[in-house]
Amino acid sequence: MTRASTDSRYAPVISLAAVFALSQGLRVEELLRLPVRTHLKEAYGLTPKAMAAFLMVAGLTWYAKPVIGLWIDASSAHASERRCTLFAAISVLTWAAVPLCESDETLLLLSLVAINLFAAYVSTAAGGHMVKLGRATASFDRLSAVRLQATSGASVVAALLSGAFAQLWLGWVSAVGAALSAVMFGQLLRLQRRSPRDPREGWTALRELRTRPVLAVGWFMFVFHAVPGYETLLFFHQTDTLGLSEGQMGLLFGVRSIGAVVGASAFGPLRRHFAKVPLVPLGIILNGACSLLYMGYDSLGSALVIEFVATALSALTLLPLYELAAKVCPRAREAVGFGVMLSLGNLGLAISDLTGTALAERFSLSLSKIIILYAVTTSASALFLLVVPKDARCCRS
């Protein structure tokens, strides 16, 4: 095989990794994670429940992935390129406007919603390309691992930057975000030119999504992610109980992302070794069990170990779910199909955090009790796999 053919073979994978990494890093919950949370707590004095609600609204555009996917699948290659250029310009301007909105909670929220919208658009487009490439090369598992490695690697960098920018003027992080946003859309444009679209009545795709496998897997993705969570409660535990600094918080998020990279890298070899094991239900139960590690979250040292180990194990549990979601996507409807699955998962995550904080406030539950509730309900969600057709949930090579 010549070098040119090798480069041509891996070029789409490299572009996919770059687009996934940038769309992940530019989410509000990544690069802006600590600057925004710190600003909401110190400038507006928001409670855990109010902060969870604010961040849920900021992330609403991630639940619009089905609509975004329909739009993408219905567009010609030329229309997609023009839209990509237009969105790049608007995205850069939106990032630049963030520091101008910091004194007004509503304007800040609107700017964060717009930032998430552009990241969601790019992520949806990349997801469609990933499913198409996975079908063409019979490599769902490898591409899913690449996706998680890219997004987790981006989270490492974003976590370090987020910690560094937490106590600085929002203008600095917005400048970095604007520059990276331009690069993100440039990489998406390259990916689209390598894989031109052939739309065929894209807005009729909703009919093709009303099949039992698609509906069942979509319902399961929502239920699995919607169990009562503890993300915001953990943030307040880190800052108020443990007294961690912004730099230490950034370090924790970085270690968490490194753990995800390690877990994603180990998935391929482990999958081949345990080819006959039902990975999806086993992964769900493992995900619930490893969350119990957070009950020992009582110092910076223990936090570093727990974040790494728990996230590495969680990565191993999530990859079979992504493969399951990709497997049931209708052909020529990859963007909308995969977007539906991920948006339902994102909606579940937002409800999870909001429900967990609401239960903690309403019944005066400690972080440990919410963690136990999460572990039990997550493991129990494996029962909902029974509604998924057997041939769809057997994700094996």
Tell me which of 330 and 170 has the higher pLDDT: 170
Residue 297 lies in a domain: yes
pLDDT at 139: 67
Least confident of 80-89, 173-182, 320-329: 320-329
pLDDT on residue 332:
60
At residue 8, the pLDDT reads: 57
- The predicted-structure confidence for 253-290, as pLDDT tens digits, reads as follows 778 878 887 887 787 777 777 666 677 888 888 888 88
Instruction: Supply the pLDDT for residue 1.
Output: 46
Q: Over 70: is that where the pLDDT of 345 sits?
A: yes
List Cβ neighbours of 311 (8 Å cut-off, separation of 6 or more).
Answer: 256, 257, 259, 260, 263
Indicate whether 4 pLDDT > 60.
no
Lowest mean pLDDT among 230-239, 240-249, 321-330, 331-340: 331-340
pLDDT score, position 304: 92
- Owner of token pair 């963690």: 371
Residue 201 has pLDDT above 70, yes or no: no
Characterize 347-377 residue by residue with b for buried, 16 or more Cβ atoms within 10 angstroms of its Cβ, and e for exposed: bbbbbbbbbbbebbeeeebebeebbbbbbeb
The answer to whether 279 and 373 have CB atoms below 8 angstroms apart is: no
Kindly state the average pLDDT of the residues 328-347: 71
Paired tokens of 236? 């307040």
Got the DSSP string for 44-106?
Answer: S---HHHHHHHHHHHTGGGGGHHHHHHHHHTS-HHHHHHHHHHHHHHHHHHHHHGGGGTT-HH
pLDDT score, position 210: 67
Residue 105 pLDDT level (bands cut at 50, 70, 90): confident
> At 134, which CATH number?
1.20.1250.20
251 pLDDT band (50/70/90 cuts)? confident
Highest-scoring range by mean pLDDT, 82-86, 206-210, 372-376, 387-391: 372-376
Can you give the pLDDT at residue 5?
Answer: 47
Residue 310 placed within a domain: yes
Query: Which tokens is 397 given?
Result: 């090579």
Higher local confidence (pLDDT), 206 or 215: 215
The whole-number pLDDT of residue 274 equals: 67
Residue 127, domain extent:
9-393
Res. 203 pLDDT band, cuts 50 70 90: very low
The pLDDT of 102-115, averaged and rounded, is 87
- Structurally, the chain folds into a number of domains equal to 1
- The answer to the question of residue 95 being in a domain is yes
283-298 pLDDT, tens digit each:
888 888 889 999 999 9
The answer to whether residue 4 sits within a structural domain is no
CB 348 within 8 A of CB 221: yes
Q: Is 200 helix (H, G, I), strand (E, B) or coil?
A: coil
Q: What is the pLDDT of residues 58-91, one digit of tens each?
A: 888 877 777 777 777 667 777 778 888 898 899 8
Query: Average of pLDDT values for 363-367?
Result: 90
Give residue 305's identity as a one-letter amino acid code: V
Q: Which of 82-86, 138-142, 191-195, 331-335 has the lowest mean pLDDT?
A: 331-335
Residue 318 confidence (pLDDT) above 60: yes
Question: What is the share, in percent, of the chain residues with pLDDT greater than 70?
Answer: 85
354: in domain: yes
Residues in the chain: 397
In a domain, 1, yes or no: no
186 CB burial (10 A radius; 0-12, 13-18, 19+): middle
The answer to whether the predicted template modeling score (pTM) of the entire model surpasses 0.75 is no
pLDDT at 393 over 70: no
User: Do the domain assignments include residue 3?
Assistant: no
Assess whether pLDDT exceeds 70 at residue 7: no
- 2 assigned to some structural domain: no
Q: Residue 302: its pLDDT value, please?
A: 93
Residue 120: closest CA among 87, 82, 159:
87
In the chain, % of residues over pLDDT 90: 11
